[in-house]
Amino acid sequence: MPGTGPVLPADALLAALADTVVVADGEGRIAYVSPSVTRLLGHDPAAVTGLPLQVLMPERLRHGHTEGFSRYRATGDGKLVGATTRVPALHAAGHEVPVDLTLSRLTPAVGEETDALVVAVLRDASTTILLERQFEISRYLAATLRITAALTEAPDADVAFAELLPTLCTELDWDAAQLWQPDGDGSRLVHAGTWTAPGATVPALEADAAGRTFRRGEGLPGEAWQQRATVSVEDFSDERAVVRVQAARDDGLRTGVAFPVFSGDMLLAVCELFSTTHRPVPPELTEVLSHAGRQIGQFLARLRAESVVRELADTLQRSLLPSHLPTIPGVELAATYRAGGGTALVGGDTYDVMPLPDGRWMVLIADVCGTGAEAAAVTAVTRHTARAAAATGSAAGILGAVNAALLHEQGSAPLRFVTACCLVLEPAARGSRLRLSVAGHPLPLVSGPDGDARAIGTAGRPLGIDADLELGETSLDLPPGATLVLYTDGVTEARDDAGRQFGEDALLRVVAGAPVADAEAIVAAVSDAVERQLSGSRHEPDDLAVLALSVPR
């Protein structure tokens, strides 16, 4: 026929194939094998022709193959026929080679006599496996990065631990997980949590974990602890000596892997992951999980350290504020404090209310320049000096004593000035009478029974700068229905996203619009207005303190 090329012999076609073709006869012997078997498995085709097929497979598979081949020859039913399966083949040098095996039944033509029964095509799967493994490892590396990123949003180590298991399972695609942590003396691991994917349950594993502990080297968690590395069981159905193997089987779990979470030499936890399907755990994957454990350990250790620092900072901050407001006869008190943003954990604002021996009361609000430990030290000096000097009975005298103490304490250290407002309050025939002194601080506001609001006092210079500071005093009567509001500049200087400050005029409107003679309602109104100002703002808020004194009608 015109245009038809030469027809190649069958042997030439088979020899040209990269895949290895093996033909087996009815007795399970090799009737034909293509030359590429030398490249794939190192065998001479002539040397293996006539030998049983088992010569091409590892010892552990030979018995099963003999039974399966006999059944296939008798019934024609073979579960591998017509499908491609990945199996290990035996190289002539003795090592195993992964191959993709495709089996087909050989049906002779009409009138043809042959004892050939099966044709097998073997394709080298090493490259495919390598690519699949590299893809899996890259997927795990990306997942561990997402895990670390997710944990960075946790406010403390306890929350991070609570989120660790669901994040691990979700990102790494495992069906269940358990977390084990050292007990009080660090001699055993105790159960700290179990998580399952949606729709999955592990009741046997959870029941077993309730009273379970692991010593170093015991079970998957103990092995991971002892080896300081990832350990795994690829198939629980093949295991006999693994602790909890029956619980794993009862829950239908096939594969388990555990990796430790270390911070230096300190074990923080061991994470176990479980799968209901068989999952190979190659060495590259165990190294990825071990690396993830080290990363998570460093992060959690930092969170724990930060938590300790925050607890210390909270304790210090509380020491700079009254634990509760006292009860002043005929006066209602309310206050609020909010630390600013940023990395500083201790603010520089403070307020105080204390009784004097003669029945009067000292009220103080102050704002130290800066934040952090140094500012807290200055705040402490301010507050405690004011308390010690309160016996003088004069608002200006109290601030003068604070000024002298600050100048003495600072010496050659960086300048830490303080703004403050101090008043001495005493009962009057109708309401209360006060004398106040202001040192560089925002002037207090007073609202009357008719709802008007205005600033009072005279702003002097801040404390801690000049030894010759002179401060005046302003007298004021607070009749029934009046409220005095003291605040720090974190209120008026609060900026919205455009950078606009809240300002004194807005504060006056809030105070004037609040319920009359209701200290708690006025403090809440000011705080809410500032929070609305800051909502969505990119600008960092300052510390804020508000203290209100109301004389009921």
**pLDDT tens digits for 167-179?**
777 777 889 989 8
- Under CATH, what is the fold of the domain 10-124? Beta-Lactamase (3.30.450)
Q: Which CATH architecture has domain 130-312?
A: 2-Layer Sandwich (3.30)
Confidence of residue 1 (pLDDT cuts 50, 70, 90): very low
pLDDT single digits (tens) 329-379: 999 999 999 877 554 455 678 899 999 989 999 999 999 887 666 777 788
Sort 295 into a burial class: Cβ within 10 Å, 0-12 / 13-18 / 19+.
middle
Torsion angle defined by CA atoms of residues 253, 257, 261 and 262, in that order, rounded to the nearest 10 degrees: 150
Confidence of residue 161 (pLDDT cuts 50, 70, 90): low
Strand partners, 259: 271
Lowest mean pLDDT among 21-25, 71-75, 503-507: 71-75
- Report how far apart, in Å, the C-alpha atoms of 226 and of each of 153, 230, 283 are: 31, 10, 18
| pLDDT at residue 9 greater than cutoff 60 | no
Tell me the C-alpha distance between 446 and 458, whole Å. Answer: 14
Tell me the C-alpha distance between 274 and 290, whole Å. Answer: 16
CB 91 within 8 A of CB 66: no
Percent of the chain with pLDDT over 90: 43
Lowest mean pLDDT among 78-92, 247-261, 441-455: 78-92
User: Other CB atoms closer than 10 Å to residue 183's CB: what's the count?
Assistant: 11
Looking at per-residue pLDDT, the higher value among 547 and 69 belongs to 547
- CB-facing half-sphere around the CA of 65: CA atoms within 13 A: 18
CB 382 within 8 A of CB 358: no
Confidence of residue 415 (pLDDT cuts 50, 70, 90): low
| pLDDT at residue 160 greater than cutoff 50 | yes
E-strand ranges in 347-450 read 349-355, 361-368, 418-427, 432-439, 445-447
pLDDT single digits (tens) 90-145: 999 999 999 988 888 766 544 445 455 788 899 988 888 777 777 777 777 777 67
CB 461 within 8 A of CB 469: yes
E-strand ranges in 452-532 read 453-455, 459-460, 474-478, 483-487
CA-based end-to-end distance of the chain = 118
| pLDDT at residue 154 greater than cutoff 80 | no
CATH H-level, domain 321-550: superfamily: PPM-type phosphatase domain (3.60.40.10)
Sort 332 into a burial class: Cβ within 10 Å, 0-12 / 13-18 / 19+.
middle
Lowest mean pLDDT among 240-244, 336-340, 409-413: 409-413
Q: What is the pLDDT of residue 391?
A: 83
Torsion angle defined by CA atoms of residues 534, 535, 539 and 541, in that order, rounded to the nearest 10 degrees: 40
Lowest mean pLDDT among 76-85, 104-113, 389-398, 461-470: 104-113
Tell me the C-alpha distance between 412 and 203, whole Å. Answer: 67
The phi and psi torsions of 495 (rounded to 5 degrees) equal -110, 140
Helices (H) and strands (E) counted in the chain, each on its own, are: 15, 22
- Parts of the chain belonging to CATH 3.30.450.20: 10-124
Tell me the C-alpha distance between 76 and 484, whole Å. Answer: 99
Q: Strands across the sheet with 84-90, in order?
A: 30-33, 20-25, 116-124, 96-105, 84-90
Tell me the C-alpha distance between 220 and 311, whole Å. Answer: 35
Handedness of CA 24, 25, 29, 35 (dihedral sign): negative
- CB-facing half-sphere around the CA of 77: CA atoms within 13 A: 2
157, containing H or E segment: helix 157-172
Q: What is the pLDDT of residue 314?
A: 61
User: What's the token pair of residue 199?
Assistant: 């729709």
- Parts of the chain belonging to CATH 3.60.40.10: 321-550
DSSP secondary structure code for residue 8 in this structure: P
Tell me the C-alpha distance between 343 and 373, whole Å. Answer: 12
Q: Are strands 84-90 and 213-214 parallel, antiparallel or unpaired?
A: unpaired
Tell me the C-alpha distance between 524 and 64, whole Å. Answer: 79
Total count of residues recorded for the chain: 553
Q: What is the pLDDT of residue 274?
A: 93
pTM check: above 0.75: no
User: What's the token pair of residue 118?
Assistant: 């099966």
Q: What is the pLDDT of residue 501?
A: 96
DSSP collapsed to 3 states, 442-468: CCCEEECCCCCEEECCCEECCECCCCC
Tell me the C-alpha distance between 361 and 382, whole Å. Answer: 17
pLDDT single digits (tens) 176-225: 989 899 998 889 999 988 888 888 899 999 999 988 999 999 999 999 99
- Parts of the chain belonging to CATH 3.30.450.40: 130-312
Torsion angle defined by CA atoms of residues 165, 169, 175 and 181, in that order, rounded to the nearest 10 degrees: -30
Q: What is the pLDDT of residue 3?
A: 47
pLDDT single digits (tens) 452-493: 899 999 989 999 998 899 999 999 999 999 999 999 999 999
Across the chain, what does the average pLDDT equal?
A: 84
Helix (H, G, I), strand (E, B) or coil at 530: helix
Tell me the C-alpha distance between 121 and 539, whole Å. Answer: 69
Q: What is the pLDDT of residue 227?
A: 92
Q: Are strands 459-460 and 432-439 parallel, antiparallel or unpaired?
A: parallel
Tell me the C-alpha distance between 308 and 297, whole Å. Answer: 16
Q: What is the mean pLDDT of residues 429-454?
A: 93
Contacts of 12 (CB under 8 A, 6+ apart): none
Q: What is the mean pLDDT of residues 291-312?
A: 68
| pLDDT at residue 449 greater than cutoff 60 | yes
Percent of the chain with pLDDT over 70: 85
Contacts of 370 (CB under 8 A, 6+ apart): 348, 416
Tell me the C-alpha distance between 96 and 510, whole Å. Answer: 82
| pLDDT at residue 87 greater than cutoff 60 | yes
Q: What is the pLDDT of residue 531?
A: 93
